[in-house]
Amino acid sequence: MVRLFLFSFLIFSVMSCKKSKIESEDFLKEVIYTETFENAESWASLPNDPAYKTTNCVKIDNQTLKLTFDQTLSDCGCAWVGAKKSIANMGNFSNTKLGIKIKLNKGFFQDIMRYKNVTDANGYVHQTGTTISSSTFRFDIPGLSMQLPNTFNGFIHEDSIFDPNMNKIEGSEFELIYNDGEKIFKIDGITQSSNLVNIQRVTQSGLNEMILQFNLGHQPELSPRLDELFIKEIEVYSWKGKLKK
């Protein structure tokens, strides 16, 4: 009887340990920040130049951040417009387990740069370039940076044929995740190649600040063309336990 009791106790202990381990690995999402565009004053219009009035090209309307660019619009920037928000004193949260989700109502993401090789006076060859089509998102916190799309996928030499669909990413919901070195990118809930975005560790900054920025525009050679990027919601989150993929 004693042996049976000890055996039963041992089994119960093992099962309890396994159960505790499973519970400790359960995914628990922790929302750090949510943006639903209810406060127009909190977003700064870009470019930050008094020569441009971007009130019609960058605005918050119907709880949506609306970026509109057309070379024929006099109150837009020279080749692009943008919106930026800086959030200070975010408190302590992990930058090794972090995700950000962006929901669009209209538009797509794209970044194309035309470059050329230039030889300087000392005979060294280097590259210089100009962004010719841009619809981008950038997210920065101390120690981590995320960009959508990956700029390096949109380089085109000046002698190459221009493809207007190059480095173009379409969808309604985009999710970038950094999980202890693992980089994950999803479109509408489906995992894509992480090479489509740029997620990287960066030198730790002394400021505890979160920066969100959208850019939209194109060079005159692509005009007349109307570009629109309407952002409905942004969510920044971390988690405890095992990440659901």
Separation in Å, CA 49 to CA 54, 58, 75, 209:
10, 14, 11, 23
Neighbouring CB atoms inside 10 A of 214's CB total 26
Q: What pLDDT, on the 0 to 100 scale, is given for residue 241?
A: 86
Look over the chain and give the mean of its residue pLDDT values, rounded to a whole number. Answer: 85
State the DSSP H helix or E strand holding residue 87, giving kind and residue range, or none if neither.
Answer: strand 80-88
pLDDT at site 205: 64
Q: What is the pLDDT of residue 136?
A: 98
pLDDT of residue 4: 43
Alpha-carbon torsion angle 99, 235, 176, 210, nearest 10: -70
Q: What is the DSSP letter of 165?
A: T
The answer to whether position 148 is within a domain reads yes
Check whether 178 has a pLDDT greater than 50.
Answer: yes
Residue 84 has pLDDT above 90, yes or no: yes
| 77 pLDDT above the threshold of 90 | no
Domain that holds residue 110: 28-240
Q: 186 lies in a domain? A: yes
Domains identified in the chain, total number: 1
124 pLDDT tier (thresholds 50, 70, 90): confident
What is the model's pLDDT at position 50?
Answer: 72
Task: Please indicate, yes or no, if residue 20 is contained in any of the structural domains.
Answer: no
CB 116 within 8 A of CB 127: yes
65-84: average pLDDT: 88
Burial of 95 (0-12, 13-18, 19+ CB in 10 A): middle
Q: Which residues are bridge partners to 186 per DSSP?
A: 175, 191
Residue 146 within any structural domain of the chain: yes
pTM: 0.85
Asked, for residue 40, whether it belongs to a domain, the answer is yes
Tell how strand 109-119 and strand 125-141 pair up.
antiparallel
Average pLDDT over residues 170-198: 97
SS3 labels along 176-205: EEEECCEEEEEECCEEECHHHCEEEECCCC
CATH label of the domain that carries residue 162: 2.60.120
Q: Residue 18: what pLDDT? A: 45
- CB distance 67 to 80 below 8 Å: no
Sign of CA dihedral 232, 238, 244, 245: positive
163, part of any domain:
yes
Question: By percentage, how much of the chain surpasses pLDDT 90?
Answer: 56
Q: Is residue 87 part of a domain?
A: yes
Q: Give the mean model confidence (pLDDT) for residues 224-238.
A: 95
Mean pLDDT to the nearest integer, 210-233 = 94
- Does residue 13 form part of some domain? no
Which of the two residues, 6 and 40, has the higher pLDDT score?
40
